Chains A and B, each alone.
Chain A
Amino acid sequence: MSEPVASVERDGRAAVVRLHGDLTVPTAKALYVGLQDLARRRDVRSIILDFGEVGRIDSSGVAAVSLVGQQIKRSGKQLDMRELEDRHRAAFAMLPKKVESHEPTIEQDSTLEKVGGGVIAAWDGAKALTSIVKDAGHQAALVVSRRKQLPAGSVAAQIVEMGFNGAFIVGVLAFLIGVTMAFQGVTQLERFGAGVFVADMISLSMVRELAPLITAIILTGRTGAAIAAELGTMKVRSEIDALATMGINPNRFLILPRLIAITIAGPALTLMAMFIGMLGGMLVASLTIGLPAIAYWQRIAEFVDLGDYAHGLMKSVLFSWIIAMSGSHFGMRATGDSSSVGNATTRTVVVSVLLIIFVDAAFATAATVWKGG
């Protein structure tokens, strides 16, 4: 062992290590390595550490002695510590106490357990969602039968927030998509002298597909995320628990007004998006191929029937419910901390968009099969 940390004297099979100076960061490595070497020697059965000339001991010195002590124990040898002053004992008190725990040791989950845990969590989530949907339906029935009331003005306030405040962005997007589609359509159709059919293309796309989809995506980002964040924050701040302990059903008080409002605002925005999108197409058709506005709208009136509008609006209602229920479900499942609110909004947006696209595809398939039949 190198000076000035320690000097070693042999006493038969025992090694007496006289430590010198401070056992601190600058000397800890030398101490640790020296003691390790000593502990490994086969001719040494016990080590005696003499602290008589030791000054200060910091955590590095304590750690070095502790680690070597463990190594000595494992190799069946003995360690003794002598001439310890109170300040040295105080330094060793930094060592964590071994607590005898009655708790079972927490073991890392295996991959299978993780997958199983995920499935159970998904199943729990599905059950919670079903429970919210069921209770919201029950509360709606109570409200319709006038046995319970909705909070005064809550539906109107939500319609303003979801519908009026979102109308501008939905309108702008629908208009731009109508314009883009018209430019692409006109360019292609004019090559075959069929520019007039741009009205058919835009109207059918907007009414059956794009308007419900654009509106739903905007509503997901604006309204779905807002519902999740609002309910999540209320959950974290115990406001929802407060309602429950007052005997007020949180689903009727918070979710039902949002569900009703989005059922009105969603289709209303979709209808608006349909016409604004077609308007964008009309402007392009009029400016590029000189298609008169009257001819454009007449063409649409002949080509798009009420069934197409019903198809688009029905989808819009379903999309709205998906958004409201996802936002409510994930918001209500927020727990404890503020990060859970962020997670709730993220999940709402991802799950809503996924379900919307899925339902859209199912609608398209069903419509095709039905028409084919």
Chain B
Amino acid sequence: MTALLECRNVSVGYDKPILENVDLAVESGELVALLGGSGSGKSTLLRTMTGLLPPLSGEVLLFGESLYDLPPEGRSELLTRTGTAFQQDALFGSMTIGDNVALPLCELTNLPASLIKEMVRMKLGLVGLAGFEDRTPNSLSGGQRKRAALARTTILDPQLVFCDEPSAGLDPVVAATIDDTLKQFRSTLGLTLVVVTHVIESVRAIADRAVMLASGRICAAGTLAELEASTVPEVYSFFHRVPPPMTTSRTAISSITRGAT
């Protein structure tokens, strides 16, 4: 198998690094989940992988090419082989669902309108939104909007799809529908997926491999079974829903009574 995406010793962040020394390779056909608590840097790493935030150091290789060494046009060209579904669905409110999904085709290809329409119909059908072409994003529920965004993300049949918290803020049933949609995309379109999430159920349902981010680094990587059996404190805490150590009564009292003498 070949790595579609590779992070080599990457540090990401804005002014200061949030994650450092990230080494990660995503092989063709895989579904890799990036796990971690809030603020662990999952979404920041995803922004770096998707060309939106240059790394502070290190190299991001997309389809074997160094993403940030390419000129802006070359980077845009390379990114058309990927798709990104954002945590906020990022649908354009001024457009219908059909126009939203068709946008990449209209902008980046010279396909005839009838063909574009058919492709949109097909992709909307695949996400269970057949007949929603003329609806506006505002008239859809959260889950439907997410699915419409997934249809737009995959309209150019990308090889690699990034999803940022696809099931965040959705009820368990709708979240399961999104998971099913991702699995379906994978089997139908042969996609490779990188999914950022903190929902363990979702990881169990879809991921081949998970990478756990905590304390500014990758603290564990492997199959879900391996991570669940891990004794690394951050991983154990995450998978077994154990909150980080809090003040115990004994330590609280000793903090008062520990005298200087």
Q: Which residues of A contact B (CB under 8 A)?
A: 45-46, 65-66, 69-70, 72-74, 76-81, 84, 86, 89-90, 92-98, 135, 151-152, 234, 237-239, 241-242, 244-249, 253
Contacts and interface: CB of A to CB of B under 8 A. Distances in A.
Contact of B104 (A77, A152, A246): A246
Contacts of B260: 73-74, 76-78
Contact of B77 (A241, A244, A247, A253): A247
A115 to B, nearest CB: 18
B107 A93 contact: no
Contacts of A72: 259
Among B83, B88, B90, find the residue whose CB has the most chain A CB atoms closer than 10 A.
B90
A233 to B, nearest CB: 8
Contacts of A95: 247, 252, 255-256
A79 B152 CA distance: 66
A65 B261 contact: no
B258 interface: yes
Contacts of B92: 234, 239
A78 B95 CA distance: 71
Contacts of B152: 242
Given A245-B52, A245-B84, A239 B77 contact: no
A89 B108 contact: no
A81 B107 contact: no
B253 A89 contact: yes
A78 B90 contact: no
A99 to B, nearest CB: 10
A247 B253 contact: no
A46 B92 CA distance: 69
Contact of A81 (B51, B72, B84, B257): B257
15 contacts: A77-B260, A80-B257, A89-B249, A92-B253, A95-B255, A98-B255, A239-B92, A241-B47, A244-B76, A244-B79, A245-B50, A246-B84, A246-B107, A248-B76, A248-B108
B40 interface: no
Given A135-B72, A151-B107, A241-B86, 10 more contacts: A69-B256, A72-B259, A79-B259, A92-B252, A93-B248, A95-B256, A241-B47, A242-B84, A244-B76, A248-B108
Given A73-B259, A97-B247, A244 B51 contact: yes
Nearest to A74: B260
Interface string B242-253: 000011111111
Contacts of A78: 257, 259-261
Among B86, B255, B259, find the residue whose CB has the most chain A CB atoms closer than 10 A.
B259
A244 B249 CA distance: 52
B103 interface: yes
Nearest to A79: B257
B9 interface: no
Interchain residue pairs A-B with the least CB separation, the first 9: A89-B249, A69-B256, A78-B259, A247-B80, A245-B84, A97-B247, A242-B90, A247-B76, A238-B86
A77 B261 contact: yes
A269 to B, nearest CB: 23
Nearest to A239: B90
B11 interface: no
Contacts of A90: 249
Interface in B68-105: 72, 76-80, 82-84, 86-88, 90-92, 103-104
Contacts of B248: 93
Contacts of B90: 237-239, 241-242
Interface string B128-145: 000000000000000000
A146 to B, nearest CB: 12
